[in-house]
Structures are given as structure tokens and as C-alpha cells.
Amino acid sequence: MLQDKIYYKILFSIFSLSMLATCSNFEPKVSSSYMTPVANTNLSDYFHMKIPSGWKSLNRNEYVGMASYRLVRQAENSSSFTGIQVIRIAPEHFRGATSDADGDNRKVDMSKYCIESMSDARKVGVVSVKKLPPRIIDKLQTCGYSGYEVHESRKYFVYYWFVWRHDGMWEIFINSDPDADEIPRELVKTLDTIRWERR
């Protein structure tokens, strides 16, 4: 009788241990649509872009405006409209964002944002506004459109690209040379070199 009790205790212990091992190996699957929690919104991640030959990056003290990053031709300065400007809008200032109850996992309807941006552009005088085919920038799906702007009586063809990340909306504007109908090829190629590095 005593041997039976010991046998059942040992059997129960083995069963319990096997159940614990099974449970510890189970991990819930995370949905692929789950968004990365918002980081410290006072800081943005480090932005990197390969500078093509014949172009240069301006230092932040060389120009005024909201742009975090500016690229112009080697012979130009901050008065040039030709080149690339990159602007970041912090998540807490971004209109139209939704989030979980705790404020994390902010989401944006990029299609809606692009349509609204195109409408706003037309209102401020951008003409021939057309939606661009979506593209990937640093493994992220983006949206964008093209149009023509006028600065100081000169016409510029422009690409507008929008990238939503955990640290906000990054807006990338690429301006053609004056009175040109296309963006310099090397500037379009730089979109493939854009990378963000987490702080």
C-alpha cells in the first residue's frame, strides 16, 4: 500500500513537471500589424542618407526653417530650392494619429494622410498634383505625390514622400532644378539609401 502511494506521488510529480514544461514553451504570437511603442518623443532616431556626388549636406546653422536635413548642389547655399529637405513631425503633434489607451502604438491611416496632403497642396498653389506609386524606404511602406511649385517666379517639379515611424512622421521633399520637369536621377536614388538608427 505504501509502495502504491509512493508510485502515484512520483507519477503525479512527473505529470506536473511535463505540464509546466509544455506551458513554458508556449509563446503567444504577435500580430504583424502590431506597432512599435513610441519612444521618447523629445528625441528622434538618427537619420542617415548617402550624399550623391556633386551634392552636399548643409549644417543646421546654415539655413532656417523646420527641416532637420537639407541637401543642395555643391555650388549652392541655403537659398537654393533644388535638392532635398527632410522634416520630422513628432508623434504628439501629429494630427489624425490614433493610439492605444496607454498612448503607445500610434497609428496613422497613410492613404488618408496622403489624400489630405494632396488637397492641402492644391490649396496653396501646387499644380498638376498626382499620387505616386507607393515605395519602400528603409523597409517601411510610404506614400507620396508629385506636383509643381513656384518659387521666386521659377517653377520646380517636386516629389513629396511620407514615412510614418515610431518617432513621428518624416516628410521628404525633393525639388528639381528651376523650370525642369523631372527630379535629378541621383536624388531619387538616394531614397534607397535612407536609414534610421535607433537611439
Specify if 32 maps to a domain. Answer: no
- Counting the structural domains of the chain, the total is 1
pLDDT of residue 138: 94
d(CA 179, CA 30): 50
Q: In this model, does residue 39 exceed pLDDT 50?
A: no
Task: List, in order, residues 6 or more apart from 125 with CB less than 8 Å away.
Answer: 149, 150
Residue 24 lies in a domain: no
Q: Is the pLDDT of residue 61 over 80?
A: yes
Question: Is 136 within the bounds of a domain?
Answer: yes
**For residue 142, is it within any domain?**
yes
Q: What is the pLDDT of residues 65-85, one digit of tens each?
A: 889 999 999 999 999 999 999
User: What integer is the mean pLDDT of 44-62?
Assistant: 93
Residue 54 in any domain: the answer is yes
Task: Describe the chain by its helix, strand, coil percentages, rounded to 5.
Answer: 25, 30, 40
Domain of 58?
46-197
Residue 37 resides in a domain:
no
Q: Does residue 132 lie in a domain region?
A: yes
Q: Check which CATH number belongs to the domain holding 87 and give it.
A: 3.40.1000.10
Assigned domain for 79 exists: yes
86-97 residue pLDDT tens: 999 888 777 666
